[in-house]
Amino acid sequence: MPPHPTPSEFELVPEIQNRWSPRAFSSRPVPRDLTRRLLEAARWAPSSFNEQPWRFLVGDSESPAFRETLRDLLMDGNAWARRAPVLMLSAWRSRLTKNDKANRVALRDLGAAEENLFLQAVSQGLVAHQMGGFSVPAAEALLREQGLGPEFEVGVMTAIGFPGDLDDLDGSLRERELKPRKRKPLSEIALFGGAGDDEV
Ligand SMILES: Cc1cc2nc3c(=O)[nH]c(=O)nc-3n(C[C@H](O)[C@H](O)[C@H](O)COP(=O)(O)O)c2cc1C
């Protein structure tokens, strides 16, 4: 549960209401089966032409050397994620398998798969935090090393684990963690066909 409740305008399913991106992670290992269940949730996401362009490289307590390799990709601003017992790097196939044409919606498919995974994580008592702050060239080299060809592009990294203790975070991170949750109002993001209509 986020330290501040989600001030949503409507009641939502608990997985959405309770999902957030924490920086405090417990070092308690996540059993491989729980992680596989998260990936199964990702697997069942919708995708254009059912292309399933997503791929996930996962380092956990059972593959500590690979987790260390993934850790080394993180930028200093995301050093808090080094504590997470599971680190994941996502990738997406940028060309359609059937005709090798550019798949302009593949990244959207990857996002859907990742959100499935996040919501499943909440329902399993886990937390997950996505990160764009890592070395993309090093991540790209890792994809190639792992056998993903040049048609695969780097996605994002995700830290996954059980919720940690806020007191383990240093001052500024702790402060960020405790900030109230905010979103743009519904009237700004949903347009029902009338400019300036705030009756959404
Ligand atoms: C694609 C993407 C990249 C992100 N990169 C980072 C990051 O590098 N470091 C970080 O601390 N948070 C990162 N975040 C987390 C966002 O800051 C966070 O989702 C946003 O502030 C909303 O907060 P919430 O997820 O707790 O609702 C990223 C989120 C997404 C979706």
Could you please report the per-residue DSSP string of 171-189? HHHHHHHTSPP----HHHH
Q: Where are the domains of the chain?
A: 21-170
The three-class DSSP label of residue 148 is coil
How close are the terminal C-alpha atoms of the chain, in Å? 28
Minimal-distance CA residue to ligand 1 atom 10:
131
Q: Is the CB of 64 under 6 A from ligand 1?
A: no
Q: Is the CB of 130 under 6 A from ligand 1?
A: yes
CA 20–ligand 1 middle distance (angstroms)? 9
For 5-62, the pLDDT digits (tens) are 889 999 999 999 999 999 999 999 999 999 999 999 999 999 999 999 999 999 999 9
CA 155–ligand 1 middle distance (angstroms)? 13
- Per-residue pLDDT averaged across 91-100, rounded? 97
- Per-residue pLDDT averaged across 75-98, rounded? 97
Amino acid at 200: V
Q: List CB contacts of 100: < 8 A, sequence separation 6 or more.
A: none
Best residue among 110, 131, 179, 181 to mutate for probing ligand 1's pocket (most ligand atoms within 8 Å of CB) is 131
Which pLDDT does position 199 carry in this prediction? 55
Angle at CA of residue 175, ends 174 and 176, nearest 5°: 90
For 137-150, the pLDDT digits (tens) are 999 999 999 999 99
For 108-140, the pLDDT digits (tens) are 999 999 999 999 999 999 999 999 999 999 999
Report the nearest atom of ligand 1 relative to the CA of 78.
9
Amino acid at 12: L
User: 21-170 maps to which CATH number?
Assistant: 3.40.109.10
Q: What is the DSSP letter of 65?
A: H
Amino acid at 26: S
For 165-199, the pLDDT digits (tens) are 998 898 889 998 888 999 999 999 999 997 655 55
CA neighbor of 67 nearest in space, from 58, 75, 59, 78: 59
CA neighbor of 27 nearest in space, from 79, 75, 78, 83: 83
Q: Is the CB of 123 under 6 A from ligand 1?
A: no
Taking the CA atoms of 18, 24, 131 and 187 in sequence, report the sign of the dihedral they define.
Answer: positive
Lookup: tokens for 143 = 């994809």
- Helix 32-43 vs helix 106-123: crossing angle, to nearest 10: 140
Which pLDDT does position 5 carry in this prediction? 81
